[in-house]
Every structure is written in C-alpha cells, then in structure tokens.
A and B are shown apart, each in its own frame.
Chain A
Amino acid sequence: MSIGNTLIDIRELQHSYANGTVSLQGIDLRIAQGESVALVGPNGAGKTSLFLCLAGLVPFKARQFHIGEINALEGGNRKKLAAKAALLFQDSDDQLVCPTVEEDVAFGPLNLGATPEEARRRALAALSQVGLLHIKDRVPHRLSGGEKRRVALAGLLAMNPDILLLDEPSQFLDHRSRRALIRILKENEHPKLIATHDFELALEICSRVIVLDQGKVVADGPIREIFANKELLEAHGLEQPPSLGGNHLPS
C-alpha cells in the first residue's frame, strides 16, 4: 500500500535477461505524487530495463513493489501496471499501430475498457493537450518525427496513468520539436520519470535526478546539486550540462 503521498515505492528490484545478463541489482526507488524525476546514466546502465519493470512488461524480483494502490508482487497484478505507469518508447514508430491519429490515441483507453464515446473524448482531450487536434484524421506513420512523438505521448495521456515513464523523449527530435515537447511536459501535471541523455531537458522539467550505473542507483538528489558534481558525473561516464558550466568541446 502506498504511504502518504508516495506514488512509487520499490525495494530491492532485480531484473536479469534470459541470457543471464543482470540489468538491475537491488534498486530502491521512491517517487512522490506530482514529482518529476530524471533518470540518467551511461548506455547499458539499466534505464530502459527499469522502465520495462515499472510498466510490468518483463518479470522481475523485488522485496516491495507498489505503484499507487497496486502491489505488483501479488498474483496477476504485474499486468495491471501498464495502466498505471504509461511508457513512452524510444522509437515512436513502435508505438503507433492504428490507421488514424485519433484511433491510435484511443487505442489505450479502449483496451482498458472505456466505451468508444469515452475513449474518443479522452483521445481528443489528449490530442488537444499536445496541440495536435488538427491532425486527428491523419495516418500516424506519415507524420514528422516530432508529431509522432507527441501523438505517442497523447496515447499515454489518454490512458490517464498515475505516472508517465518517458524513455529518451527528445531523441531524434529537431530543435523546434524538442522545444514543443519540453513545453508540453512542463505544462503537464502528471508525475514523470524521464530517462534521458538530454541534461538540459532534464534541468527544465525535473527537480530531482537519479543516476544509474551498472544496474545500481549511484546518486539520488536535487538535480542542480547532482549535475553540479562534475567528479560524480565523470566517474559514471556522464558530462555536466553546458548551462551548469560543462564544456563539451574537446580540450
């Protein structure tokens, strides 16, 4: 059961792939209602694996695993996590499956048991939130990269989840699309966990950051404080963002 305003409460989360590769080694994670948290780490640190566990898409072991009121360790509850923790995949194309934008955004609500009328209402509201109501009748696969990302995000918003899990949301986006996405995410009040290499985006949206390396949490705290710690970042293959004094040019 969730405690106070705790939304996610996980203890000693472990996950390994079928080939034996251990991706998560005893992760402890607590996220409060309304919190936006960045998740950073080098490639292969376990960010995507953590997201797949949170969305209940892969089997895992844990001593405790609560999202909202759901205890995922109780029989059959793991599959209910997808409705609570909505995951935006790195490649939006993977997520777009229907013939029109409106149908695609309504795909989640319909799967969760909403009536067609309710699903349509939620789809249109979500499209309005991401500023794409005018393209509701278009074919998703023929949109630009930025539009696809926003349609995929609208698909998650329409599910009305407890938390948004965003895996590299600004990847492959041009400057204008990235700005539009940041604006939408800043305006949106859903709690968010954002896995990203785009530290500037993290600074704009999140107040807290978790640094993951080799499947372990190596730092967790206020984002400006942790991003100001150059030694910590470099020890885990990361660089300070330019706005905090990081220099990305070769010395």
Chain B
Amino acid sequence: MTLELESANYQFSPLAGFDPRWKLLGFSLAIFLTALINSPFAATFAFLLYLVLLFQVCPFPSWRNPKLAWVALGLLLFSLPAPLLATGQPLKSFSGLAITREGISLGAMLFFKGLAIACLGLCLVGSQSHHDLIRGLQGLGVPAKIASVFWLFIRYLDLILEEFKRMRVALAGKGYRPKNFLQHAWQLSRLSGNLLIRAMDHSNHVSMAVLARGFQGSFHSLDGFQSSRKDGLLFIFLLLTGLGILALDRGVFLP
C-alpha cells in the first residue's frame, strides 16, 4: 500500500518535528481567514504566498504537484462558468450569454482562493503522518469518535485511490488505450461502481484489522505532545499572515 494522500517523505519536511496541535490550529486559522477573502487581488496574493510556503514545507514535487494540479482542475469547473453567470457590466455577449467583468473577478477570486486553501492544506498534511494529525485533533479536544471518522475517511480515500490505480493498470494490461479524454472519462465512469465496491471491501479489511487489535475509537501514542517556542512562532506567523492578507483584501493598506 502506498498511502497516496500521505507524503512518504513527510519526516524530511522542515515542519515535521512541530507539535501537531499548534500546526493544526495555525493552519486551520489561516484556512479560515483565507476563506473570508473577497477580492481576486488578495486571493492571488494569498495563493502566491502560500505556494512559496508549500514549496518550502513540502519539497517533494512527485507528491505535491499532482495533488495541486487536481485541485486546480476541480476549481476550474467552478471558476470557468463564473464569468457567464454573474450579473454586471457585460464585456462581450454571444448567444444570449454575457461575459461580465464581475464574473471574471468572481471566477479569478474563486480559483485563487481555492488554490491558496489547497496550498495550506497540503502544507499541513504533507509535513506529518495521518496518525499524528489525528492525535493532534484529539489533543485539541476533538471527540475521539469524530477524530476516528476523520482518520477512516482519509484512510478510505487512500484505498479508493489505490484501487483506482490498480484498475487503470489492469485496463492498460488488457490493451485498453483511450482515444480521447471523453472516451477515457466515459470508461472510468463505467468502472466507478466496481471501484467503490472494491474499495469498500478493502476498507472493511482495514476496519476489521484495527478492531482486531483492540481499537475502540481512540488513538493513543507512545510519546506525548511536546510544544516549544518554535510551535508558538509558527502559529503567530500563520495568524499574522492570514490577518495581513485579509487586511489587504479589505483595503486597510489603501490610502
């Protein structure tokens, strides 16, 4: 098993040794503040800043880049129609549809805000193991059952991705060569039912395996949490950066 969502090199991240509770708190707050951004300029600025942070925190291109690319593709689905859907001053009209300035602005804001949030999320999950992430959640007072649901969700998503990979290899092994993207997408959608059944079967084994080892919904660890000054500094950095970008968004720095 490769654990698609977990970075294989997370222990080499500069943030690997940080207390997961502070990291969770800091990145969650930064994500929340980023979600409040309304202007495309501030969203773009946030994206560029957090992209630099992501490159520093997760220097593992083979893990980081495909995930960012998939998020970008997903965001395009929401951002591309925005210029046609938002009301405002039309820049160009065709077939009863109008591209508006406000729509372009909205699309750009959605796209870059989404990417900025994705960068923060990848910084968080790319710098520690899932296990520590869940322990951190429990350490912050999240009920054990909710933390377990979160862990199982991540783990099951991993299994679905892994089964998807296997099915693609199996298809290629049987000589399947898609002629175009649409044909490929159609074939994959036909296989999605099978994929879910296989992933569910696999996830059932994982769930039984942890139950067989006495798991009762709560994660324990050999080592307790250890906070130091660097954890506080990281939290303050993320808080101030988030607040600074929000201030930029609200025009606080304008004369």
Q: Which residues of A contact B (CB under 8 A)?
A: 52, 55, 57, 82-83, 86-87, 89, 91, 93-99, 102-103, 106-108, 110-112, 116, 119-120, 123, 139, 141-142, 155-156, 159
- Give every chain A residue within 8 A of B205 (Cβ-Cβ): 89, 91, 94
Residue of B nearest to A81 (CB): B212
Contact between A110 and B220 (Cβ–Cβ < 8 Å)? yes
Q: When chains A and B are docked, how far (Å) is the Cα of A107 from the Cα of B135?
A: 13
Residue of A nearest to B221 (CB): A103
Judged by a CB distance under 8 angstroms, whether B214 is at the interface is yes
Judged by a CB distance under 8 angstroms, whether B33 is at the interface is no
- Give every chain A residue within 8 A of B214 (Cβ-Cβ): 82-83, 108, 111-112, 159
Contact between A139 and B8 (Cβ–Cβ < 8 Å)? yes
Contact between A94 and B213 (Cβ–Cβ < 8 Å)? no
- Give every chain B residue within 8 A of A108 (Cβ-Cβ): 213-214
Q: Which residues of B contact A (CB under 8 A)?
A: 1-3, 6, 8, 11, 129-132, 155, 202, 205-206, 208-216, 220-224
Contact between B131 and A98 (Cβ–Cβ < 8 Å)? yes
Known: A97-B210, A99-B131, A108-B213. A141 touches B220 (CB 8 A): no
Known: A87-B209, A107-B220. 15 other contacts (CB 8 A): A57-B208, A86-B212, A89-B209, A94-B208, A96-B1, A97-B155, A99-B130, A106-B222, A107-B210, A107-B215, A110-B220, A111-B213, A116-B221, A141-B3, A155-B213
- Give every chain A residue within 8 A of B215 (Cβ-Cβ): 107, 111
In order of increasing CB-CB distance, the 5 nearest A-B pairs are: A111-B214, A99-B129, A110-B220, A93-B1, A108-B213
Which of A97, A108, A159 has most chain B Cβ within 10 Å?
A97
User: Smallest Cβ distance from A209 to chain B, in angstroms?
Assistant: 24
Q: When chains A and B are docked, how far (Å) is the Cα of A116 from the Cα of B223?
A: 7
User: Smallest Cβ distance from A134 to chain B, in angstroms?
Assistant: 18
- Give every chain B residue within 8 A of A89 (Cβ-Cβ): 205, 208-209, 212
- Give every chain B residue within 8 A of A120 (Cβ-Cβ): 222
- Give every chain B residue within 8 A of A123 (Cβ-Cβ): 222
Listed by A's residue number, 19 A-B pairs whose Cβ atoms lie within 8 Å are A55-B212, A57-B208, A57-B212, A89-B208, A89-B212, A91-B205, A94-B209, A97-B131, A107-B215, A108-B213, A110-B220, A110-B222, A112-B214, A116-B220, A116-B221, A116-B224, A119-B220, A139-B8, A159-B214
User: Smallest Cβ distance from B148 to chain A, in angstroms?
Assistant: 11
Contact between B222 and A141 (Cβ–Cβ < 8 Å)? no
Contact between A103 and B222 (Cβ–Cβ < 8 Å)? yes
Residue of A nearest to B214 (CB): A111
User: Smallest Cβ distance from A124 to chain B, in angstroms?
Assistant: 10
- Give every chain A residue within 8 A of B131 (Cβ-Cβ): 97-99, 103
Q: When chains A and B are docked, how far (Å) is the Cα of A107 from the Cα of B214?
A: 9
Contact between A87 and B222 (Cβ–Cβ < 8 Å)? no
Q: When chains A and B are docked, how far (Å) is the Cα of A80 from the Cα of B1?
A: 29
Q: When chains A and B are docked, how far (Å) is the Cα of A175 from the Cα of B11?
A: 32
Residue of B nearest to A87 (CB): B212
